[in-house]
């Protein structure tokens, strides 16, 4: 049996599927992939949501992405099938504002590399599809030559992918990450960084709080009620449209584009990218309070 046969069994034509065999060039991240598959599929998906230009073009022509990890020369391990729901072009600044990308960077991912140099890339909306999930991390296929070519459409005769074996390897089972061997760490080293800062207009903030007040529009927190005079005038102002995903200056309407929120709610709004709506976060809080 071949991988294409599994696709047809589910009513998916192989010519609609781009098959990726991931092997990150970052050695630390490469060693972490099995753990991501077992414990953080959301991070694994974020890892594959951006690609090199040649793969970007291929994904825009596909309806599905079948994800594998390089197991050994000539072999690939199945991870999952994803529907290509769309894509958008994002800047380098926006790329690093996505929480998952910052987590992946801590795990060794370079992300926006200098080779080739790019000012923006495509960010793909890849939605997991129910497709032989019991085989995740276990099904091994033969990877057709050349071994270096890690992206292929599933229907081409030269891209035949026979199923080689099923392996129930422990490293692909969900398990908590190992605790650090020490709880004492060193901080305080200095380094020089260069960054671009998007300037906010303080007058827009003033107009926003003059209209809405200083209470959080998500949870209703009032800093004066809780902290007294030291809390007077303190509140964050949230941009309903992604502030950093803009090139150059733009007009801001302090009433329709901004909302006052407390720091906790502000952080939770940006726990997703793009930022979730105030209504959605408020509903989440209401469900938790029932």
Q: Which two tokens stand for residue 25?
A: 């060039």
Among residues 66, 74, 72, the alpha carbon closest in space to that of 20 is found at: 66
Dihedral sign from CA coordinates of 253, 256, 261, 264? negative
138-194: per-residue pLDDT in tens?
A: 889 999 887 777 899 988 888 889 988 876 565 665 544 444 445 555 666 665 655
How confident is the model at residue 193, as a pLDDT?
52
What is the biggest distance separating any 2 CA atoms in the chain, rounded to whole angstroms?
74
Q: Taking residues 217-223, what's their average pLDDT?
A: 93
pLDDT at 87 over 50: yes
Spell out where 27-119 has E strands. Answer: 64-72, 75-91
Cβ–Cβ under 8 Å, residues 7 and 14 = yes
User: Residue 138 — φ and ψ, nearest 5°?
Assistant: -115, -35
**pTM beyond 0.75, yes or no:** no
Cβ–Cβ under 8 Å, residues 29 and 101 = no
16-32: per-residue pLDDT in tens?
A: 999 999 999 888 898 88
Cβ–Cβ under 8 Å, residues 140 and 164 = yes
Angle, vertex CA 209, rays to CA 207 and CA 242, nearest 5: 80
Question: Domain locations in the chain?
Answer: 3-172, 202-288
CATH number 3.10.400 is the correct assignment for the domain at 3-172: yes
DSSP state of 2: B
């Amino acid at each position: 049996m071949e991988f294409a046969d599994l696709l047809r069994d589910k009513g998916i034509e192989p010519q609609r599927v781009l098959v990726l065999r991931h092997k990150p060039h970052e050695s630390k991240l490469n060693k972490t992939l099995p753990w991501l598959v077992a414990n953080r599929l959301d991070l694994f998906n974020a890892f594959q949501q951006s690609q090199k230009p040649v793969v970007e073009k291929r994904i825009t022509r596909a309806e599905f992405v079948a994800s594998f990890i390089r197991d050994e020369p000539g072999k690939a391990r199945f991870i999952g099938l994803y529907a290509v729901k769309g894509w958008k072009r994002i800047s380098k600044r926006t790329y690093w504002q996505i929480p998952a990308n910052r987590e992946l960077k801590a795990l060794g991912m370079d992300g926006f590399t200098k080779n080739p140099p790019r000012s923006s890339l495509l960010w793909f909306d890849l939605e997991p599809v129910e497709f032989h999930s019991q085989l995740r991390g276990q099904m091994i296929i033969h990877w057709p030559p050349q071994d270096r070519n890690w992206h292929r459409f599933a229907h081409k005769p030269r891209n035949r992918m026979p199923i080689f074996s099923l392996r129930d390897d422990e490293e692909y089972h969900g398990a908590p990450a190992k605790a650090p061997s020490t709880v004492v760490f060193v901080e305080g080293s200095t380094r020089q960084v260069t960054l671009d800062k998007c300037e906010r207009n303080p007058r827009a903030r003033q107009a926003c709080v003059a209209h809405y007040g200083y209470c959080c529009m998500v949870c209703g927190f009032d800093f004066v009620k809780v902290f007294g005079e030291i809390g007077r005038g303190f509140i964050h102002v949230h941009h309903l449209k992604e502030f950093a995903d803009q090139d150059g200056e733009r007009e801001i309407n302090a009433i329709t584009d901004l909302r006052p929120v407390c720091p906790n709610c502000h952080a939770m709004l940006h726990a997703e990218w793009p930022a979730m709506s105030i209504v959605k976060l408020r509903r989440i809080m209401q469900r938790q309070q029932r």
